[in-house]
Amino acid sequence: MGTGVRRRMGVEERRQQLIKVALDLFSRRSPDEVSIDEIASAAGISRPLVYHYFPGKMSLYEAALTRAAEDLAGRFEEPHEGPLGARLLRVMGRFFDFVDEHGPGFSALMRGGPAVGSSATNALVDSVRQASYEQILSHLGITEAPARLELVVRSWISLVESTALIWLEGRRVPREELERQLVHDFAALAAISAAYDPEMAAVVRTFVQNEPGDGPFAELATRLISLAS
Amino acid sequence: MGTGVRRRMGVEERRQQLIKVALDLFSRRSPDEVSIDEIASAAGISRPLVYHYFPGKMSLYEAALTRAAEDLAGRFEEPHEGPLGARLLRVMGRFFDFVDEHGPGFSALMRGGPAVGSSATNALVDSVRQASYEQILSHLGITEAPARLELVVRSWISLVESTALIWLEGRRVPREELERQLVHDFAALAAISAAYDPEMAAVVRTFVQNEPGDGPFAELATRLISLAS
């Protein structure tokens, strides 16, 4: 902009701009590799001015991560309409959009490298897990989850995370296939648990009843039968 | 032992004793909560003498963890005989034995608290994951895994980890049920991936052919069919 006069931003506006710039940088490379100098330069301000708004890289990283966590938790929100399989599939689509946008930063955070992990970042990751867990329970119409259902939903969330992390390593399987597969996996984990427990069987029956004949659960059963024969 | 003369241990013997004592303490409580004083006292030696063998708590923790990692990796070793489902079930039994023995330490490590995570500990955890991954591939008779098979096996290993971590929180589901369930889960994840890919279908068909009619895969299919009807 040459010698043009730069518009002065207000404090909160500047903070929000820095968070946005930092999140973008922290998403595209491992956070260890991003310097305050780089953030300052990308925001078009001096390094001391960055420190005026954030005491250090860690506090800026945590602010960026908080924004990303809110964004991610929001992607698990889905209207309570239509078959559960189709809802989960839309959620998986938005989840993989997020993973796609924030790939290197997501990997670095979830793999918990030494410069990345802290109690604050761990708490943020757990808050997103908890929010997605509660979302899924609400779609199942359940408020107090029995132990087996809690285990199925939480272990499935971890399966979703690890599948995304492995996918990011080389993107060797189309993400649409994985999104669909993870919905099938949810049905399978629930059904397997239901095979041992009447309470889980009731949960599974309720959601299966509302699934169309061409939904993920029916499709899974058909494909398994054709594989076995 | 009163004033009796304590036998002097050799350097390597003493190191091994300290590792054993430390692993026991680090297993029963979160490593953050275990002090060098406590380790010294449990080993029956002075605090300075501990530092003679290990420069600090982190190095003793890493040595203890290395031993635990070797132990755990060994539990994934299983003779290449009999149906795959039964082999996996024995492996799951030994894995849950390990988790049971090292509960609090296992949780602290895998949840990656700030005092626990380091590049060295992360590398150890990854080495166990890699060893168990290679074990499973060898049981499938495969050396170069196609992308989908790699994804199924590695994401299943992460499912096993998260299931164990959730189980440890309150042990509200019998572990024998979870061991069996995880074997079913493996078959289900493989079969679901096989539904999308001829290469995976060939892998699944090979192992299904060698399964008895009452093995985990057949049982899973039967249970799913009865649930759906």
**Is the Cβ pair A184, B192 closer than 8 Å?**
yes
Using CB atoms, pick whichever of B113, B185, B225 lies closest to residue A192.
Answer: B185
Query: Which chain B residues are Cβ-neighbours of A220 within 8 angstroms?
Result: 192, 195, 224
In a domain, A8, yes or no: no
- The residue behind tokens 């099938």 is A184
**Is the Cβ pair A159, B154 closer than 8 Å?**
no
Range of the domain at A89: 63-228
Using CB atoms, pick whichever of B148, B170, B172 lies closest to residue A173.
Answer: B148
Query: What total number of domains does chain B contain?
Result: 1
In a domain, A216, yes or no: yes
Burial class (CB in 10 A: 0-12, 13-18, 19+), B202: exposed
**CATH code, A171:** 1.10.357.10
In a domain, A179, yes or no: yes
In a domain, A124, yes or no: yes
In a domain, B76, yes or no: yes
Query: Which chain A residues are Cβ-neighbours of B174 within 8 angstroms?
Result: none
Length of chain B as a residue count: 229
The answer to whether A216 and A180 are in contact (CB under 8 A) is yes
H or E, element range at B194: helix B175-194
In a domain, A94, yes or no: yes
- The residue behind tokens 């024969």 is A229
Query: Which chain B residues are Cβ-neighbours of A196 within 8 angstroms?
Result: 177, 180-181
Average confidence score pLDDT of chain B: 88
Give chain A's end-to-end CA distance (angstroms, integer). 70
- pLDDT, position B2: 45
The answer to whether B105 and B28 are in contact (CB under 8 A) is yes
Q: Give the count of beta carbons closer than 10 Å to the beta carbon of residue A214.
A: 10
Cα separation, A143 vs A149, in Å, equals 11
Query: Which chain B residues are Cβ-neighbours of A151 within 8 angstroms?
Result: 163, 166-167, 173, 178
H or E, element range at A34: none
Lowest mean pLDDT among A1-10, A68-77, A169-178, B191-200: A1-10
Cα separation, B74 vs B97, in Å, equals 13
**Is the Cβ pair B151, A158 closer than 8 Å?**
no
pTM recorded for the entire structure: 0.90
Q: DSSP string of B56-112?
A: SHHHHHHHHHHHHHHHHHHHT---S-S-HHHHHHHHHHHHHHHHHHTHHHHHHHHHT
Using CB atoms, pick whichever of B158, B173, B228 lies closest to residue A147.
Answer: B173
In a domain, B35, yes or no: no
Cα separation, A224 vs A207, in Å, equals 19
- pLDDT, position B227: 64
User: Region A163-190: what's the mean pLDDT?
Assistant: 94
Cα separation, A227 vs B21, in Å, equals 51
In a domain, A219, yes or no: yes
> What does the pLDDT look like over A100-121, one tens digit per residue?
999 988 988 887 654 555 778 8
Mutate to test the interface with A, among B124, B180, B211, B224 (most CBs of A within 10 A): B224
Query: Which chain B residues are Cβ-neighbours of A189 within 8 angstroms?
Result: 185, 188
> What does the pLDDT look like over B179-197, one tens digit per residue?
999 999 998 899 889 988 8
Instruction: Mark out the alpha helices in chain A (DSSP H runs).
Output: 11-28, 36-43, 47-53, 57-75, 84-101, 103-111, 119-139, 147-170, 175-194, 198-209, 216-228
